[in-house]
Amino acid sequence: MADQEYEVIPHQLLRDLREDVEALKNKLTKPDAKMNELILEIESLKDSIHDLHSVFQKALGEMNDEGDVTKVLPVMKEQLAAVVKQNETIATGMIAIADKVDDFIAKNSGSSMMKPKPMMSKPMPGSSPMGKPMSSPGMPSMGMGHGPSRIAPPPQMPKMEAEPQMDLPPPPPGMKKKGLF
């Protein structure tokens, strides 16, 4: 060892180098939080790539099993033709049902046209000129005076056989009916 050349280095520089070497050894044996996070992300990426590779392997296997596209195309055409036939059957059934409903409605409306029933009774004395409905004793008040109210007529109006005929004077000449009817 006496033959080797050497250079004189200050002790401070040697101490700094030893501290750096110790810090690097500590980082390798005890990684910090950022290093742990990086390692975990690398592991996660590796697993994802492995999963993606297996998906592509399965897809390749299925493509090889199916064979040529020209062999698959006729099968798909047959399935599509079956769906079209089912849709035609459903449409025909819907049309038949709609026709039967129309016939039923026409029969019911035809029988009701044979017996026309009055929608509104004749005005009674004391009724308002605007045709507002009067409340009967059995019916609750529907907020008269708070604006127009819409009340659906009952499904069938009872026909009064002995309806009293009242002789009302004709309306004054200046008043005409207003409205749609």
The string of DSSP codes covering the chain is -TTS------HHHHHHHHHHHHHHHHHHHS--HHHHHHHHHHHHHHHHHHHHHHHHHHHHHHHHHH--HHHHHHHHHHHHHHHHHHHHHHHHHHHHHHHHHHHHHHHHHHHHHHS---SSPPPPTT--TT-PPPPPTTS----TTSS----PPPSSPPPPTTPPP--PPPPPTT----S--
Q: Which of 67, 83, 99 is the last residue of a domain?
A: 67
pLDDT tens for each residue of 137-175: 444 444 444 545 566 555 555 555 555 566 777 766 665
Q: Is 105 within the bounds of a domain?
A: yes
Instruction: Please give the model's pTM, rounded to 2 decimal places.
Output: 0.28
User: What is the share, in percent, of the chain residues with pLDDT greater than 90?
Assistant: 29
Domain that holds residue 91: 68-114
Q: How does pLDDT run across 121-133, given as a tens digit for each residue?
A: 555 554 444 444 4
Instruction: List pLDDT tens digits, range 2-36.
Output: 678 878 888 899 999 999 999 988 877 877 778 78
Q: Per the domain annotation, does 132 fall within a domain?
A: no
Whether 58 is covered by a domain: the verdict is yes
Does 96 fall in a domain?
Answer: yes
